[in-house]
């Protein structure tokens, strides 16, 4: 699941960055969502896999702080990508003015504003979870919730948001076609 998450999200980033037709606000935010999904899974899953392999739950203090910091950071960034919803609203309700309204300055401003509904919301929920009684949650339900949030959701995002999208499919075909041609040229030059 981890490899599918990383590879799927990397494909989206490569497709969007390699095709100039996809350099629009919607795909800008989509590529950032993919980057955040790679970050959030890479923060926790490798250590979890090592712990499963060693059958140990030990983590050093510095590692715990590092992992917690980046997990919270990427979690907040994941939520902030909800700016995509505003982008889609403008595209649907004001299609003729879309490029004027969703200019790079507004995109940056939206990122800044949402980074500050989201920081307070995210920290508020974290405090609620950690300050609640430990007896109300079982370790099994906590583990299930963690896996759903940290692994399953980022793994499904490429399929939900991108691989069903005609523009992304076209960009991936062009990307792999271009990569195949470059590989053939390199091989022919060596022979």
Is the separation of the CB atoms in 13 and 42 below 8 Å? Answer: no
CA dihedral 8, 172, 164, 33 (to 10 degrees): 50
Examine the pLDDT at 117 and tell me if it is beyond 70. Answer: no
- Range name among 85-89, 96-100, 135-139, 186-190 with the lowest pLDDT average: 135-139
**What residue segments make up the domains of the chain, in order of their start?**
2-190
Q: How far apart are CA 83 and CA 35, in angstroms?
A: 15
Q: Average of pLDDT values for 79-105?
A: 80
> Which of 29, 2, 3 is closest to 16 using CA atoms?
29
What global pTM score does this model have? 0.64
Residue showing tokens 């390199």: 186
pLDDT band at 28 (very low <50, low <70, confident <90, very high): confident
């Amino acid at each position: 699941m981890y490899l599918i998450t990383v590879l799927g999200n990397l494909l989206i980033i490569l497709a969007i960055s390699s095709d100039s037709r996809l350099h629009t606000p919607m795909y800008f935010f989509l590529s950032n969502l993919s980057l955040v999904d790679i970050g959030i899974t890479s923060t926790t899953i490798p250590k979890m896999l090592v712990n499963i392999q060693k059958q140990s739950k030990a983590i050093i203090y510095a590692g715990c702080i590092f992992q917690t910091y980046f997990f919270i950071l990427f979690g907040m960034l994941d939520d902030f990508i909800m700016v995509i919803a505003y982008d889609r609203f403008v595209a649907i309700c004001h299609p003729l003015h879309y490029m004027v309204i969703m200019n790079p300055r507004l995109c940056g401003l939206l990122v800044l504003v949402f980074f500050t509904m989201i920081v307070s919301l995210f920290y508020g929920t974290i405090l609620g979870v950690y300050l609640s009684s430990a007896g109300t949650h079982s370790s099994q339900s906590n583990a299930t919730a963690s896996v759903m949030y940290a692994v399953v959701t980022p793994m499904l995002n490429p399929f939900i948001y991108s691989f069903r999208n005609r523009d992304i499919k076209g960009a991936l075909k062009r990307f792999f076609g271009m990569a195949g041609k470059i590989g053939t040229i390199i091989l022919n030059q060596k022979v």
